[in-house]
Every structure is written in C-alpha cells, then in structure tokens.
Amino acid sequence: MKIILKDGTEKEFENGKNVYEIAKSLSQRLAKEAVGGKFNGKIVELFTPINENGKLEILTFDDEDGKKIYWHTSSHIMAQAIKRLYKDVKLTIGPAIDNGFYYDFDVDEPFTVDDFSKIEEEMNKIIKEDLKLERFVLPREEAIKFMDEKGEPYKVELIKDLPEDAVISFYRQGEFTDLCAGPHLPSTGMVKSIKLLSVAGAYWRGDEHNKMLQRIYGISFPKKSMLDEYLNMLEEAKKRDHRKLGKELDLFSIHNEGPGFPFFHPKGMVIRNILEDFWRKEHAKRGYLEIKTPIILNEELWHRSGHWDHYKENMYFTKIDGEDYAIKPMNCPGALLVYNSTMHSYRDLPLRLCELGLVHRHELSGALHGLMRVRSFTQDDAHLFMTPDQVESEILGVIKLIDYFYKIFGFDYFVELSTRPENSIGSDEDWELATNALIKAMEHIGLNYKVNEGDGAFYGPKIDFHLKDSIGRTWQCGTIQLDFQMPERFNCEYVGQDGEKHRPVMLHRVVFGSIERFIAILTENFAGAFPTWLAPVQVKILPISDKHLAYAQNIQQRLLENDIRVELDDRNEKIGYKIREAQMQKIPYMLILGDKEVESGNVSVRSRKEGDLGSKSIQEFLSSILEEIKNKSL
C-alpha cells in the first residue's frame, strides 16, 4: 500500500502495518513519542492496522489531536481511580478538552480539593500497572444490559439515545470498563505526569433541570517538566485574573442584582472609551459607516433570520402591546433592516455598516465568568454588503484590519477555518462557494490556517482569529463569516450594471469580538499594568508635604491642558506610602514634588517599569509622555 506522509513524501508498506510500525520504520524517536495517527483525516489509535492507500500523519503530544488522545485516556484513568475509591459513584462522561480533561460523576458527598491527593495516588498506581486499553463492541441491547448490570444508569441513557442499529464500543483497562468511542493510548503506562486541578458542579447534559453532578478537571503530560511549566503558568494566571484586578483597580463590578450583567466604573469606562474611540477612528478611515439598531425587536424578525430555530434557548423575551418581542442576541438582522430601508445600486457597494451593538444572551449561571462570559455585552460588529466579484477583496480588507488591530496591542494570533455545521441552512452550492472564497482570500496573502470541521455559523463558514497572550494562553476574538443565506431570507437586493435586481453577498465580522471580553483579555495580558495610552490614570502627582501642594496643582493643570489623565495625591501621608500605593495601582508615571522641584521648576519622575528616572523639566516630561501615547507604545 502507498502512504503519503505529513511532509508529502510517499512510501510503500505492507498491508496491515499499524501506525506504530510505520512510525518505527521512519524513526525510533518518532515511534517513542507517537500517541496515535490521523489516516485520511480520521484519528486512529497507535495499533490500528492500515490496509489501503492514503494520507497518514503520526500524532505526538505536540499535536492538538495527539493531546486529545492523551487526555482522553487520562480521564479514563481518573474514572477508574474514583471507582476504586468510591464504590457507589455513578459514571457519566469524561472528554478531553482544550486544556486537559474532566469527568462528571454522580456522587452522594461532593468532592473537595482535599480528596485530590488520594485520587492522584490511585491514578499513579493505575499508570504503574501499565494496563492495556482494549476496545470491544456490543449490539445496542447487549450494551444496555451490560451497563445496567454494572449499575451505570447514565451510560444506559446514553446508549438508548443511539440509533437502533448502532454498534456500541467500549474500552476495558483492568477491572474498569467504560462506554467510549475512543481513540485512546495503548496503555495507561504511557501517561506520565498527572495533576487534578479543580472541582465544580455541572448539570447532567448541561440542562439546569437535570441533576447536578461533580466535575473534576485534570491535566497530564509526558514529562514532569511540562507539568511544572503548566502549573507555573496557572499560578501566573491567578495573579492576572481580571476579576481580581478589576476589583483592585476599580474597573468594574458584578452584583447579585444582575448576575452576568457587568457594571463599569469610571476607570473601566476610560479603557472602554479609548477602545471604542480607536475602533471608530480606524473604521472611518476604511470607509465604514456606523449605525445603531434597537436591542428589542419583534419575534417575527428572529423567525425570518433563522435565529429562532438555532438560538431561541439563549434569548430573552418580552411582550409589548400584546405582541411577542425578543431582546437581540445578535446585531445582524438589524443591519439587514437598515440595508433594506434604501434601494441600492451596484455603485453603492461595497457598503460597510458597523455597529457597537449591545446584545443579550442567556448563559447558565455556572458558566458565567467575570467579563469573559456574561449575559450582556457589546459586539464590535460590522456587516458588509457586496457584489460577488468584491468578495475576495473585502475579506482581504477585513483580514488586514484585524491584523492591524492585534499588532497595536502586541498580540500574536493563529487562524482557523470553521466549516459547515450539522444544523446549517442553505444549499451545498452556496456553502461550497462561501468556503472556497474564504480559503482563496487566506491563500492569496499566505495566511496559515487550520481547519475546524463543522464549527461554522448556521448560515455560513467563518475564519476565527485566536489571540496568544503574554503567558501563552489563546483567546478566540475576531471572526469573519461569509453569508449567502441572510440576504436571501431578507430579500436584499441591488440594481446591477445590467439594470436588473441582484442579491448581494453579506460578510459578518468582529475584531475585538466583545468589548467586555477584550478588556478582560487586555487586563490579564498586561497583568493590570496597562500601557500608558490605555491606562485609566497615566500620571500620579505626589507632593512630599502640604507646602508643595500649590506647585503640584499647577503641574496637574498643565497636564490636564495636554489631555493627560492625572490624579493628585494630596493626602497627609509619607511619600514612601504614596509611592507604594501608586505602584500597587499600576500607574505608569509618578511625579514626586519637594523643595528641589519647587525651586528648580522641574519634576522628579518615577516610572512604574524602570523606577527613578531623575529630574526633568515639565516640558521634557510632557514631550516624552505625549509621544508615547501618540505611538501607542506597549
């Protein structure tokens, strides 16, 4: 059989060779590090035999799919350990996730972090036992009986939801057997370093009407050094938690009177307004026209747009004059109504309508997380209407805009193409056209991307931009979605060069994603020490005593006249205390004023980052800080 490898080379192997044997023939090291394979796009196990021509990628822990295999097996090890320690526990599901794995358990007494050490100890025993993971299958009825006899009602429920003719797969390791589609590592001994991280409540199947389960999160790595590095990153992330910093720096708060609905304080509003002003200025430069659409619109609109069938469980509703209305979870239908309010010619296109639109989405209370996951947020939306021949250039324009924005904030990023989901609307032809248009635009400028199968919007494929922050975490922010469906549903038209009416193509896109979430990401990325141009307070004036207060007030007025955000600390406190407090508030510059400064007419400058910068004239300091702000220096 002929196998095409990841680097494009083609090799011949005997039929029936498994992934491990092929890896070993290529490199002993590769075989040692291999955790599975990807054959013709399907993830397979290490000892899966290959019997036909095709493309094979040997997966290691460095690959995303390799991590999923590793972490999925780790979740089974955790479940086995818990079944050994807690005989009456009931199993539910235990997938790999983006950062590790979890397993949900039905248990009488809730788990606590105090239980972790003995669970980890048992997991390490199972790893040392080097138990082989063996797959076997059963017909549906036998599978139901098998799990019923084991006293696993949640597994029985899962099997009953499968088709009548389904063949059900299980994995056995020692005395433990779990319902699972796989794939897995060949043995428990391949997992090396494990750590349980947290425990939380989770509703069975994510439905708040179902029973609350106990979810334990964990992580595992092939080397202890990798685990240590990850745990250090988590410690750093705790210090940077935007919820903690938001309180300490007085940026925002969330109250019991409105869970998931953030309150922005004056300092938080400074950052928000800077971001929004920057956004407006850069969009105006690129020919965008800003609109504002209502947050409450008639329910019929959401049926027409398709959101009702795909999103109603996440929406809020109200009645007005006896009719049903919805609070908007998306801005797009409003933009379509604006487009349709005027007849358009091909000469009007592309028409770029942008909106800082407030949307509301119902999130489960357990999913809420500071500004990262809220029920009310502002999307920096834009909806571009264009002729078919303008599609590629408009996509390129958006990609360049997003790239410009992220570079301003110092973010690296990677890109994913999300393709057609199961619950999509529209024809195969439209989806193929839309997907190919996105691919063509990315390839035109040499933008590297990976494919995220089946994760597109219900109306079209999309490009997602994932930011990488200063401690290596990634965040999905920007997105570009190509849409042939909404213009059809809303009967959008323009008059072409031929004098006939045509259907425009629509592009949805966001850059920040959500203003609230982007502020949270910035807060954690900079650990609250915002660059000067973004800092709520840019300068703190610290007079040493009351006799220096008049001079301090003059300096404050000079800075205010130059649009510098400045505070004067006129409290009767020791200067060392004032400096420490300004440092804790992460203010970029402190101006310390005493006898020498009053006499010379200068200021003593202290930088948050570099410490004492010495004596400078006020004009010298002003020129320096204004240049820093103008250049948006990081």
Domain co-membership, 368 together with 225? no
Say what percent of the chain tops pLDDT 70: 100
Indicate the pLDDT class of residue 2, thresholds 50, 70 and 90. Answer: confident
Q: Span 561-567, mean pLDDT? A: 97
Residue 534 and residue 413 in contact, taking contact as beta carbons nearer than 8 Å: no
Question: Residues within the annotated binding site for Zn(2+)?
Answer: 332, 383, 508
Domain co-membership, 45 together with 100? no
409 domain residue, yes or no: yes
Assess whether 462 carries a catalytic annotation: yes
CATH of the domain at 551: 3.40.50.800
Domain co-membership, 219 together with 340? no
- CB burial of 128-137 (b: ≥16 within 10 Å; e: otherwise) equals eeebebebee
265 domain residue, yes or no: no
452 domain residue, yes or no: yes
Domain co-membership, 490 together with 512? yes
Torsion angle, alpha carbons of 573, 576, 581, 586, to 10 = 140
141 domain residue, yes or no: yes
Sign of CA dihedral 74, 75, 80, 85: positive
Q: Select from 127, 135, 181, 184 the least CA-distant residue to 159.
A: 181
Q: Span 378-394, mean pLDDT? A: 94
Indicate the pLDDT class of residue 98, thresholds 50, 70 and 90. Answer: confident
- How many Å apart are CA 279 and CA 405, to the nearest integer? 9
Q: In the prediction, which pLDDT does 92 show?
A: 96
Q: Select from 457, 456, 453, 466 the least CA-distant residue to 415.
A: 466
Q: Tokens in use for 288?
A: 């965008």
**Of these residues, 332, 354, 477, 492, which one is catalytic?**
332
Assess whether 466 carries a catalytic annotation: no
Say what percent of the chain tops pLDDT 90: 78
Q: In the prediction, which pLDDT does 12 show?
A: 83
Assess whether 332 carries a catalytic annotation: yes
Q: Span 372-386, mean pLDDT? A: 96
Assess whether 379 carries a catalytic annotation: yes
Indicate the pLDDT class of residue 470, thresholds 50, 70 and 90. Answer: confident
Q: Cα Rg for the chain, rounded, in angstroms?
A: 29
Domain co-membership, 394 together with 495? yes
Q: In the prediction, which pLDDT does 412 show?
A: 92
Is the pLDDT reported for residue 299 higher than 90?
Answer: yes
Domain co-membership, 357 together with 432? yes
Assess whether 272 carries a catalytic annotation: no
577: alpha, beta or left? (left if phi > 0; alpha if psi -120 to 50)? alpha
- DSSP E strand stretches across 394-458: 412-418, 450-452
Cis bond upstream, residue 536 (ω within 30): no
Residue 369 CB-half CA count within 13 A: 8
Assess whether 28 carries a catalytic annotation: no
Question: Residues within the annotated binding site?
Answer: 332, 383, 508
Q: In the prediction, which pLDDT does 452 show?
A: 84
Q: Which uninterrupted H or E stretch holds 485?
A: helix 485-489
Among 55, 81, 97, identify where a domain stops.
55
- Domain range holding 578? 539-630
Q: Span 599-617, mean pLDDT? A: 95
Is the pLDDT reported for residue 167 higher than 90?
Answer: no
CATH of the domain at 446: 3.30.930.10
Three-state SS for 51? coil
584 domain residue, yes or no: yes
**Of these residues, 381, 464, 483, 569, which one is catalytic?**
381
**Of these residues, 184, 283, 361, 517, which one is catalytic?**
361
CATH of the domain at 207: 3.30.980.10
Domain co-membership, 545 together with 521? no
Is the pLDDT reported for residue 545 higher than 80?
Answer: yes
Assess whether 553 carries a catalytic annotation: no
List, for residues 507-531, the tens digit of each pLDDT value: 999 999 999 999 999 999 999 999 9
252 domain residue, yes or no: no
Q: Select from 120, 124, 128, 130 the least CA-distant residue to 218.
A: 120
**Of these residues, 462, 517, 540, 578, which one is catalytic?**
462
Domain co-membership, 411 together with 505? yes
Among 477, 499, 525, identify where a domain stops.
525
Q: In the prediction, which pLDDT does 78 show?
A: 98
Three-state SS for 14? coil
Is the pLDDT reported for residue 99 higher than 80?
Answer: yes
Model-level pTM? 0.82
Q: In the prediction, which pLDDT does 4 show?
A: 86
Is the pLDDT reported for residue 163 higher than 90?
Answer: no
Indicate the pLDDT class of residue 555, thresholds 50, 70 and 90. Answer: very high
Long-range contacts at 146-152 (CB < 8 A, ≥ 24 apart): 146/170, 147/179, 150/177, 151/90, 152/90, 152/91, 152/179
Q: Select from 145, 206, 147, 153 the least CA-distant residue to 179.
A: 147
Domain co-membership, 402 together with 461? yes
Three-state SS for 298? strand
Q: In the prediction, which pLDDT does 423 show?
A: 77
Classify residue 412 by burial, with Cβ atoms within 10 Å: 0-12, 13-18, 19+: exposed
Q: In the prediction, which pLDDT does 319 show?
A: 96
264 domain residue, yes or no: no
* Least trusted range by pLDDT, from 113-117, 127-131, 187-191, 460-464: 460-464
List, for residues 31-75, the tens digit of each pLDDT value: 899 999 999 988 999 998 988 888 989 999 999 999 999 999 999
**Of these residues, 240, 383, 517, 540, which one is catalytic?**
383
How many domains are contained in the chain?
A: 4
Domain co-membership, 48 together with 187? no
DSSP track, 200-230: EEEEGGG-TTS-EEEEEEEEEESSHHHHHHH
DSSP track, 104-148: EEE-SSPP-GGGHHHHHHHHHHHHHHTPBPEEEEEEHHHHHHHHH
311 domain residue, yes or no: no
Domain co-membership, 416 together with 485? yes
The chain-wide mean pLDDT, for the chain, equals 93
Q: In the prediction, which pLDDT does 456 show?
A: 84
Higher-pLDDT residue of 441, 216: 216
Domain co-membership, 465 together with 359? yes
Higher-pLDDT residue of 445, 512: 512
**Of these residues, 344, 508, 540, 586, which one is catalytic?**
508
Is the pLDDT reported for residue 436 higher than 90?
Answer: no
Q: In the prediction, which pLDDT does 590 show?
A: 98
